[in-house]
Structure 1
Amino acid sequence: MFSRGNFFASFFGGVVNNRIGFTRSVKLNGSLSVMVMLLLGLVGNHLWLLVGLLICLAMFQGFGVSALNTFIVNVVPTNRSTVMAFNSSFLYLGLTFGSLIGGWIYPTFGYFGVCLLSALSTLISILVTLGLKPTH
């Protein structure tokens, strides 16, 4: 079910991103993802709200991935393959450390603490990405 939201977004992501611009899309989809992550921590045991928010999160991140990839390969266009390799490496590194830290946070702060950490981490990554300056 969640993959449908992501599929829809990745299928139409290019069209939307061409209309609003890649930088604006990174900001918009990143901000919407942060808001959904915070809301996820607040819905508690309301299953249908949780499912709806997870579909929205998959959709926002699906739209954001194509914009983010286009944005970062244009930072150093002469080394696109290296930039994408770094992007993948840091993605997996972030998933690893996020899982590790989330495992420490969950017993003390619960689900909301994990959602808050996720939102904060996403916000930091958006700010770092937007701080990159193209070299061309």
Structure 2
Amino acid sequence: MEMIYATLKLDLGMILVCYAVLLLAFASNVVLSLYYNISMSKEKFDKKRLLLGIKKAVVLVVGTLLLVIAIDAATLLLADYVPDIGSQTHDIIKVVMIATTIGVAAWRYIKDAYNTFINILNGKPTENADALDNKE
């Protein structure tokens, strides 16, 4: 049982670092989008859009936290019964899960923040940033 707690503690420490990256990406996207939408596009502040973004971030955090706990518990408990499940399998599953959830979300926020940043620098509509994305 102590092994489960030690593994959970290590994994939760790693996932907190991932959440910090996600939070930075989310915050930069929010700040840049607020500036662009209010100052440049002359839109009104929409509290619903901000709350929806925060809600998505909270759901992602809770969901991935539960997934990490489930993966840790399952692989550690199955290790006693299935000899092929070891620490390498556990680590691979954990990394894939984190990369596909937190990594994809953080990358999307970073991409959106970058597009907004380019739009602010150019002082032009979002089509310019979309054109830069499709340039690849």
Structure 1 and Structure 2 fold alike (TM over 0.5): no
TM-score (norm 2): 0.39
Higher helix share: 1
The TM-score normalised by the length of structure 1 is 0.39
Which is higher, the Rg of structure 1 or of structure 2? Answer: 2
